[in-house]
């Protein structure tokens, strides 16, 4: 067995109820046709088309010129990474937000919170009452963002990945 890495994550949750959100022309829900355009932002080695066909949602942001600059997945039916266990699995009440990405040259311009708000709304519109996301303990920027959007810390998990399919977790 080969040690792949250690991780220490925080689990945050919030209700999907929000004050009325005005339409944001920069934010879109991805279709399979969008995946080619979104490829630079998507995690490699995952069948993103299958994720969409399974009923999950990808919320993405476009710059004024139409270039995709940020995205986040909202998982309603599953998650391709088994390492985080139950924390990363949606259930009948809680959707799982993951893989938020904003292209480096577009960070600190408001794309991340706008994508997250649209993700929360997408979960609410799909009938979920809560959303959950995981944040590395070292990611101070993301912790500030999720707390500012009303997420509350609900758990801590430490783990060690040993080989590609084996993880030991401790909460």
Model pLDDT for residues 119-141, shown as the tens digit of each residue: 999 999 999 999 999 998 889 99
This model's pTM is above 0.85: yes
Nearest residue to 73 via CA among 93, 55, 85, 87: 55
Q: 3 near 163, Cβ under 8 Å? A: no
For the chain, the structural domain boundaries read: 3-170
Please tell me the distance from the alpha carbon of residue 169 to that of residue 83, in angstroms, as a whole number: 8
Domain 3-170 coded CATH 3.40.630.30: yes
At 38, phi and psi to the nearest 5?
-85, -5
As a whole number, mean pLDDT of residues 138-167 equals 83
């Amino acid at each position: 067995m080969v040690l792949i890495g250690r991780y220490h994550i925080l689990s945050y949750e919030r209700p999907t109820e929000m004050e009325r959100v005005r339409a944001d022309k920069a934010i879109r829900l991805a279709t399979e046709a969008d995946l080619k355009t979104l490829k630079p932002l998507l995690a490699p080695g995952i069948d993103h088309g299958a994720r969409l066909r399974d009923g999950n949602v990808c919320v993405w942001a476009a710059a004024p010129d139409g270039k995709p600059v940020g995205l986040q997945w909202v998982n309603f039916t599953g998650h391709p990474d088994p390492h985080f266990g139950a924390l990363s699995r949606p259930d009948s009440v809680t959707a799982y937000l993951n893989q938020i990405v904003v292209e480096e040259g577009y960070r600190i311009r408001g794309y991340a919170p706008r994508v997250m708000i649209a993700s929360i709304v997408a979960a609410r519109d799909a009938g979920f009452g809560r959303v959950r996301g995981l944040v590395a303990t070292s990611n101070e920027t993301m912790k500030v963002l999720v707390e500012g959007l009303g997420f509350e810390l609900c758990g801590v998990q430490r783990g060690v990945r040993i080989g590609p399919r084996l993880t030991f977790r401790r909460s």
